[in-house]
Amino acid sequence: MKKVLMTLAVAFVAVAANAQVYVGGNVGIASSKIGNGDNVTTYKVLPEVGYNINKDWAVGTTLGWGKGTPVKIEGESHNYFTVQPYARYTFVHSKYVNVFVDGGFGYTHYNHAHQGPLAASINEWEAGLRPGLAVNLSPKVSFVTHIGFVGWKSVKADVSGAKANNVWGASLNGNDITFGVYYNF
């Protein structure tokens, strides 16, 4: 076991020494009200790790959790877990600002999204693009924001015979903005 841990540590240090790894993540918070319903506050904490292949391309993944609302369950808000691997293409480079787009897929599991006798969890799949902006505060630290989502989402209750609800399109509302900080090794 010690040899495995030592090998992983050496591999991490070797990759980090090449200044190609970044760690950080995003947080998001929003409050919404539908009709005469109560205000619903949602949040997300999305730690992230990535690897820069070259100056234009990177790959990474987000693994996080939060409290939010699935597409078909308006007015309710439940805890969830998500994993979202991506490939990033940076198409504008400057000393202080980079503009990029993340293309990838994601899986989110909402815990017991329905209450009462129809209690069920919800599974959500997505594939699409997330545009973003990185402000380089220093060579090692970047402020990063993702704005919106363009693509496909499918939401299905985790019960026998349930049908999926599919959504195609673009979402650029306040619930789709995240802010974060990256540390570049």
Nearest-5° Cα angle at 42, 36 to 45: 175
Among 6-15, 44-53, 77-86, 158-167, top mean pLDDT goes to 44-53
d(CA 10, CA 13): 5
pLDDT band for position 82 (cuts 50, 70, 90): very high
Provide the pLDDT confidence category of residue 72 given band limits of 50, 70 and 90: very low
Instruction: Give the mean pLDDT of the chain.
Output: 82
Q: What is the pLDDT of residues 102-124, one digit of tens each?
A: 999 999 998 865 555 556 788 89
Show the tokens assigned to 23: 């760690």
For the segment 135-149, the average pLDDT, to the nearest whole number, is 91
Predicted confidence at residue 110, as pLDDT, reads 85
Q: Using only C-alpha atoms, what is the Rg of the chain?
A: 19
For 113, the token pair is 């999204």
Tokens 């979202």, residue located: 84
**What is the spatial distance between Cα 107 and Cα 103, in angstroms, rounded to a whole number?**
14
What percentage of the chain carries pLDDT values higher than 90? 42
Confidence at residue 32, expressed as pLDDT on a 0 to 100 scale: 73
DSSP structure class, residue 118: G
Q: Which residue has the higher pLDDT, 94 or 16?
A: 94
| Highest mean pLDDT (candidates 77-86, 107-116, 126-135) | 126-135
CA-to-CA distance for 67 and 72, rounded, in angstroms? 15
